[in-house]
Amino acid sequence: MAEPMYRQIAEHLRTRIEAGEFAPGSKLPTELELREHYNNASRNTIRDAIGWLSNRGLVVAQPGRGTFVVERLTPFIVPLAAGEKGVGNDEGGVGGDEGEAFNRAVRLQGGEPRVGEPRVEIRKATGDLARELDIETGAPVVSRHQQRFIDERPSSLQTSFYPMEFVHRGAVDLLQATDIPQGATKYVGEKLGIKATGYRDRVTVRHPDASETAFFRFPDAGNVLVMVVRRTAYTTGARPIRFTVTAYPADRNHFVIDSGETPPLEEIVRDL
């Protein structure tokens, strides 16, 4: 049974895109031009073909401008688990803290990392935040929010929350809107004698909110999702000491969780 005409057109356009006839970022022919090129195909047939390409992330429609070939991004390998090959840290890989493991993993993959200056706020704990830090609803917490980049392309957004109790006990640098070189959690450990001994990740997938869409420069079509890693770090006795929420665009990140003896990360990167 022959494929529907829109699928035949879509497959032909896909082949032309993958062959480089339409370069990343270039504009496809107009709807009228495509209709004429494909034997006076109907408007709906062309629109269905473009929709098929759009659903597969090959093109994106920009209202008033046309349809453009999506730039294919080289994915960043995100090691989530604690690493033994120089890419993780004792808090569990790239999602662990403010920049240290992230910088190492990016450089290992040939990229240039940059972590923005933190935005520091004091807020009241509610919902997930109060539950994960095991504190009363309304209790004050310190949040440290950072933007992360690879080769100046927006890579991820990360916010870590710490109980205000840590500041009262002497970890006052948590309130400073500057980077903490050794990582905020290690700093807390040095100041207060609290060592992270475990962590738990909860991973969800959702549509981006307005601020994420703007930061990651997502197309208006809304076909790129974000993966959100919620990590709670614990100290001895399973007492929570940090809650971190990191948003990763699904179009430029691959997640890796190693267990036991595995090949080095470089082998995965070479195969992409």
Instruction: Write the CATH number for 211.
Output: 3.40.1410.10
H helix or E strand, kind and range, residue 235: strand 226-235
Mean pLDDT to the nearest integer, 2-20: 89
pLDDT confidence band for 149 (50 / 70 / 90): very high
Range among 41-45, 62-66, 101-105 rated most confident: 41-45
pLDDT level of residue 190 (50, 70, 90 thresholds): very high
Domain boundary among 69, 86, 101: 69
Residue with tokens 């062309």: 46
Cα–Cα distance measured from residue 141 to residue 129, given in angstroms and rounded to the nearest whole number: 9
Provide the pLDDT confidence category of residue 43 given band limits of 50, 70 and 90.
very high
> Are 139 and 168 within one domain?
yes
- Which of 56-70, 198-212, 257-271 comes out lowest in average pLDDT? 257-271
Q: Do 38 and 60 share a structural domain? A: yes
127 and 22 both lie in a single domain: no
47-61, 97-111, 134-148, 216-230: range with lowest mean pLDDT: 97-111
Nearest Cα neighbor of 189 from 233, 147, 225 is: 233
pLDDT, average across residues 203-219: 90
Look at residue 179 and tell me whether its pLDDT is greater than 50: yes
Backbone angles phi and psi of 44, in degrees to 5? -65, -35
Which helix or strand (DSSP H or E) is residue 62 part of? Answer: strand 59-62
CB 27 within 8 A of CB 59: no
Cα separation, 2 vs 112, whole angstroms:
49
d(CA 24, CA 193): 52
Q: Which of 69, 92, 120 is the last residue of a domain?
A: 69
Same domain? 64 vs 159: no
CATH label of the domain that carries residue 38: 1.10.10.10
* Upper half-sphere CA count for residue 86 (Cβ side, 13 Å): 9
Does 140 share its domain with 32?
no
Residues 104 and 154 in one domain: yes
To 5 degrees, how large is the angle CA 156–CA 23–CA 269?
45
Q: Which DSSP string corresponds to 141-184?
A: EEEEEEEEEETTEEEEEEEEEEEHHHHHTT-GGGGSSS--TT-H
Same domain? For 172 and 257 the reply is: yes
The band of 15, judged by pLDDT with boundaries at 50, 70 and 90, is very high
pLDDT given at position 73: 72
Q: Based on the domain organization, do 219 and 160 belong to the same domain?
A: yes
pLDDT interval class at 183 (50, 70, 90): confident
Mean pLDDT of 147-153: 92
Q: Where are the alpha helices (DSSP H) in the chain?
A: 5-18, 31-37, 43-55, 100-108, 127-133, 164-168, 184-192, 210-216, 265-271
Q: Check whether residue 42 and residue 122 sit in a common domain.
A: no
More confident residue, 234 or 258: 234
Say what the alpha-carbon torsion angle 247, 156, 22, 270 is, to the nearest 10 degrees. -110
| H or E stretch covering 202 | strand 198-206
Residue in 17, 22, 253, 24 with CA at minimum distance from that of residue 153:
253
Angle between helices 43-55 and 5-18 (to 10 degrees): 50
Instruction: Reply yes or no on whether the pLDDT at 82 is more than 60.
Output: no
Residue 57 belongs to what domain range? 5-69
- pLDDT band for position 90 (50/70/90)? very low
DSSP state of 135: -
Count up the domains in the chain and report the number.
2
Same structural domain, 55 and 89 = no
pLDDT, tens digit, for every residue of 100-148?
A: 778 888 888 888 999 899 999 999 999 999 999 999 999 999 999 999 9
pLDDT in the model for residue 86 = 41
Res 67: pLDDT:
87
Average pLDDT of the chain is 85
Same domain, 154 and 48: no
What pLDDT does residue 174 have? 95
Asked if 105 and 235 sit in the same domain, the reply is yes
Mean pLDDT score, 43-66: 86
84 band by pLDDT with thresholds 50, 70 and 90? very low
The domain boundary residue, chosen from 69, 92, 123 = 69
Q: What is the pLDDT of residue 95?
A: 53
Alpha-carbon torsion 217, 219, 224, 230, what sign? positive
Taking residues 44-69, report their average pLDDT. 86
